[in-house]
Amino acid sequence: MDQETLTKGERTQNEITEAAYQLFLEKGYHGTSMRQIGQFAGIALGGIYNHFDSKEAIFTAVILAHHPYYDVIPAMQAAQGETVEEFVKDAANRLVSNLDERLDFLKLMFIELVEFNGQHIPQIFETFYPDVLEFAQRFSINRNELRAIPAPVLVRAFLGMFFSYFITELLIGQFLPDEMNENTLDHFIEIYLHGVLLNDD
């Protein structure tokens, strides 16, 4: 949203959220105090409480503001391909490429999972689910190529497959032997499209 169209209160909220975002990445959730957020944002502690009633409320705003779906979903929706296979290959490459540019997301999600037991995930999911459904409709292109699997399930499997690729690549990719790293994304795409069993046809 254009900063010029925001109210003074909305701009202040954004300043608080952005300050907290930087501090959470640097110090972690519990290592960041409300006072530090205020100092970083240049806002008095009392002023923060005029906009957020708790540090957790600020974290919720941070994770919603910085969730990569703002970039990832449009990139996936822009995927091209005359066949399902071409479309999936392009979408997978776009997804991974965008995640590679958002390494902050993994830190935020670890905070969410470890310190909040995932309690904010339903709210996050509710926010981006309509866009996921829109992407799912893209699988209806050349539907005769696909097995009778609901499109939302195909997208859930797609996200699970390529998020797992991204996370394992990020965490352990550099430690894996060459045979586990050669053309890995292509192999993940192949497994997603065709599975691991030989076709008897």
**201 assigned to some structural domain:** no
The pLDDT score that the predictor gives to residue 48 is 94
Token reading at 76? 């996936």
- The number of beta carbons lying within 10 Å of the beta carbon of residue 131 is 16
Total structural domains within the chain: 2
The pLDDT score that the predictor gives to residue 142 is 64
Is the domain of 76 the same as that of 166?
A: yes
- Find where tokens 């391909």 sit: 81
What amino acid occupies position 166?
A: F
* Rounded Cα–Cα distance for residues 115 and 51 (Å): 23
The pLDDT score that the predictor gives to residue 24 is 94
Identify whether the C-beta of residue 36 lies closer than 8 Å to the C-beta of residue 24: no
Determine if the pTM surpasses 0.85: no
What residues in the chain have per-residue pLDDT under 70? 1-4, 140-143, 200-201
**123 assigned to some structural domain:** yes
Identify whether the C-beta of residue 110 lies closer than 8 Å to the C-beta of residue 132: no
The pLDDT score that the predictor gives to residue 56 is 93
Is the domain of 146 the same as that of 189?
A: yes
Select from 15, 45, 63 the last residue of a domain. Answer: 63
- Find where tokens 């009633």 sit: 53
Span 76-91, pLDDT tens digits: 889 998 888 999 999 9
- For residue 31, give the nearest of 18, 41, 44, 22 by alpha carbon: 22
Is the domain of 95 the same as that of 185?
A: yes
What amino acid occupies position 173?
A: G
Token reading at 23? 């501090």
**200 assigned to some structural domain:** no
**94 assigned to some structural domain:** yes
The burial class, CB within 10 Å (0-12 / 13-18 / 19+), for 190 is: middle
The pLDDT score that the predictor gives to residue 20 is 96
**149 assigned to some structural domain:** yes
Is the domain of 87 the same as that of 133?
A: yes
Containing domain of residue 53, as a range? 3-63
Is the domain of 106 the same as that of 125?
A: yes
Is the domain of 39 the same as that of 110?
A: no
* Rounded Cα–Cα distance for residues 145 and 46 (Å): 60
Select from 63, 78, 98 the last residue of a domain. Answer: 63
